[in-house]
Chain A
Amino acid sequence: MAKLLPFRPRIAVGMGTCGTGNGSEGVYHAFADAIDKRGLDIHLARVGCFGFCAQEPLVNVWLPGRPLVILHRVQSQHVDEILDDVMMGNIPTALALCKIEEWDHITAQVKYGTGYANIPSWRDIPFFKGQKKIVLRNCGLINPDDVEEYIAVGGYQSLYNVLIDNRPDVVIEQIKAAKLRGRGGAGFSTGQKWDFLRKAVAEKKFIICNADEGDPGAYMNRNEIESDPHSLLEGMLIAGFLTGATMGIIYVRAEYPLAVHRLERAIEQAKEYGLLGEDILGRGFNFNIELVEGAGAFVCGEETALINSLEGFAGRPRPRPPFPAQKGLWGFPTNINNVETWYNVAPIIARGPAWFTETGSAKSPGTKVFSLVGKVHNTGLVEMPLGTPLKTFVYDIGEGGVGGRAIKSVQTGGPSGGCIPHEMFDTPVDYESLAQLGSIMGSGGMVVMDEDNCMVDVARYFIEFTNSESCGKCVPCRVGLDKSLRILNRITSGAGRMQHMETLEELSRYIRDSSLCGLGQSAPNPVVSTLKSFAEEYRAHIEDHKCPAGVCGVQPVGETA
Chain B
Amino acid sequence: MSQAVRVITLTMDGREISARGDQTVLQVARENNMYIPTLCHLTGLARVGSCRLCLVEVKGINKLLPACVTRVEEGWEVSLNSERLSKYRKSILELLFSERNHVCAVCVSNGHCELQTLAQTLGMTHVHFAYRYPRLAVDGSHDRFVVDHNRCILCTRCVRVCDEIEGAHTWDLLGRGVNAQVITDLNQPWGESDTCTGCGKCINVCPTGALVEKGKSVREMTKQRQFLPYLTLMRERRW
Tell me the A residues contacting B by CB distance below 8 Å. Answer: 297, 299, 314, 318-319, 321, 467-476, 478-483, 486-487, 503, 506-507, 510, 513-516
**Beta-carbon contact of B98 and A483 below 8 Å:** yes
A486 to B180 CA separation, bound complex (whole angstroms): 18
Stretch in B2-10, B87-95, B101-109, B186-194 with 4+ CB within 8 Å of A: B87-95
Binary CB contact string for chain B from 177 to 215 against chain A (1 if under 8 A, 0 otherwise): 111100000000000000000000000000000000000
Tell me the B residues contacting A by CB distance below 8 Å. Answer: 47-52, 55, 63-64, 66, 69-71, 88, 91-92, 95-96, 98-99, 128-130, 132, 153-154, 173, 175-180
B98 to chain A, nearest CB (A): 7
**A478-B154, A482-B132, A503-B129 given; 15 more Cβ-contact pairs under 8 Å:** A472-B176, A474-B49, A474-B52, A475-B52, A475-B92, A476-B91, A479-B98, A479-B99, A480-B95, A481-B177, A482-B99, A483-B130, A486-B132, A487-B130, A510-B92
Which residue on B lies nearest to A514, using beta carbons? Answer: B52
**Beta-carbon contact of B177 and A471 below 8 Å:** yes
**Beta-carbon contact of B178 and A478 below 8 Å:** yes
14 pairs of residues in contact across A and B, judged by CB atoms under 8 Å: A299-B176, A469-B177, A472-B177, A474-B52, A475-B50, A476-B52, A476-B95, A478-B177, A478-B178, A479-B95, A482-B99, A510-B91, A513-B63, A516-B50
**Beta-carbon contact of A472 and B130 below 8 Å:** no
**Beta-carbon contact of A482 and B51 below 8 Å:** no
**Beta-carbon contact of B95 and A473 below 8 Å:** no
**Beta-carbon contact of B47 and A479 below 8 Å:** no
Given contacts A478-B154, A479-B98, A480-B95, contact A319 B52 (CB under 8 A): no
Across the interface, which residues of B come within 8 angstroms of A314, CB to CB?
Answer: 173, 176
**Beta-carbon contact of A319 and B49 below 8 Å:** yes
Across the interface, which residues of A come within 8 angstroms of B69, CB to CB?
Answer: 319
The total of interchain contacts (Cβ-Cβ below 8 angstroms) comes to 93
A516 to B47 CA separation, bound complex (whole angstroms): 13
A507 to B71 CA separation, bound complex (whole angstroms): 28
**Beta-carbon contact of B176 and A319 below 8 Å:** no
Across the interface, which residues of B come within 8 angstroms of A474, CB to CB?
Answer: 49-52
> Nearest 7 pairs between A and B by C-beta?
A472-B180, A319-B49, A479-B95, A470-B177, A319-B69, A482-B178, A472-B177
Across the interface, which residues of B come within 8 angstroms of A479, CB to CB?
Answer: 95-96, 98-99, 178
**Beta-carbon contact of B88 and A475 below 8 Å:** no
A419 to B99 CA separation, bound complex (whole angstroms): 29
Across the interface, which residues of A come within 8 angstroms of B178, CB to CB?
Answer: 467, 470, 472, 478-479, 482
Across the interface, which residues of A come within 8 angstroms of B129, CB to CB?
Answer: 483, 503, 507
**Beta-carbon contact of A478 and B180 below 8 Å:** yes
A469 to B154 CA separation, bound complex (whole angstroms): 17
Across the interface, which residues of A come within 8 angstroms of B130, CB to CB?
Answer: 483, 486-487
A314 to chain B, nearest CB (A): 7
Which residue on B lies nearest to A466, using beta carbons? Answer: B177
Across the interface, which residues of B come within 8 angstroms of A476, CB to CB?
Answer: 52, 91-92, 95
A321 to B52 CA separation, bound complex (whole angstroms): 15
**Beta-carbon contact of A467 and B95 below 8 Å:** no
Which residue on B lies nearest to A320, using beta carbons? Answer: B69
Which residue on B lies nearest to A490, using beta carbons? Answer: B130
Across the interface, which residues of A come within 8 angstroms of B176, CB to CB?
Answer: 297, 299, 314, 469-472
Across the interface, which residues of B come within 8 angstroms of A510, CB to CB?
Answer: 88, 91-92
**Beta-carbon contact of A475 and B177 below 8 Å:** no
A436 to B26 CA separation, bound complex (whole angstroms): 33
Given contacts A483-B129, A513-B64, contact A472 B95 (CB under 8 A): no
Which residue on A lies nearest to B66, using beta carbons? Answer: A319
Given contacts A514-B64, A516-B49, contact A475 B96 (CB under 8 A): yes
Across the interface, which residues of B come within 8 angstroms of A516, CB to CB?
Answer: 49-50, 52, 66
Across the interface, which residues of B come within 8 angstroms of A469, CB to CB?
Answer: 176-177
**Beta-carbon contact of A482 and B50 below 8 Å:** no
**Beta-carbon contact of A472 and B175 below 8 Å:** yes
The winner among B63, B129, B132, B153 for most chain A CB atoms within 10 A is B129
Which residue on A lies nearest to B71, using beta carbons? Answer: A321
Given contacts A472-B175, A475-B51, A482-B132, contact A514 B92 (CB under 8 A): yes
**Beta-carbon contact of B180 and A475 below 8 Å:** no
A472 to B48 CA separation, bound complex (whole angstroms): 13
A482 to B180 CA separation, bound complex (whole angstroms): 13
The winner among A297, A470, A473, A515 for most chain B CB atoms within 10 A is A473
A152 to chain B, nearest CB (A): 46
**Beta-carbon contact of B51 and A472 below 8 Å:** no
The winner among A319, A481, A487, A506 for most chain B CB atoms within 10 A is A319
A514 to chain B, nearest CB (A): 5
B42 to chain A, nearest CB (A): 16
Across the interface, which residues of A come within 8 angstroms of B55, CB to CB?
Answer: 514
A297 to B154 CA separation, bound complex (whole angstroms): 20
A474 to B64 CA separation, bound complex (whole angstroms): 14
A44 to B80 CA separation, bound complex (whole angstroms): 68
Across the interface, which residues of B come within 8 angstroms of A513, CB to CB?
Answer: 63-64, 88
A71 to B170 CA separation, bound complex (whole angstroms): 61
Which residue on B lies nearest to A499, using beta carbons? Answer: B128
**Beta-carbon contact of B177 and A467 below 8 Å:** yes
A318 to B50 CA separation, bound complex (whole angstroms): 9
A492 to chain B, nearest CB (A): 16
A318 to B129 CA separation, bound complex (whole angstroms): 28
Of the candidates A318, A468, A483, A515, the one whose C-beta lies within 8 Å of that of B52 is A515
Across the interface, which residues of B come within 8 angstroms of A299, CB to CB?
Answer: 176
A266 to chain B, nearest CB (A): 33
Given contacts A476-B95, A514-B64, contact A468 B177 (CB under 8 A): yes
A513 to B215 CA separation, bound complex (whole angstroms): 42
**Beta-carbon contact of A319 and B99 below 8 Å:** no
Across the interface, which residues of A come within 8 angstroms of B71, CB to CB?
Answer: 321
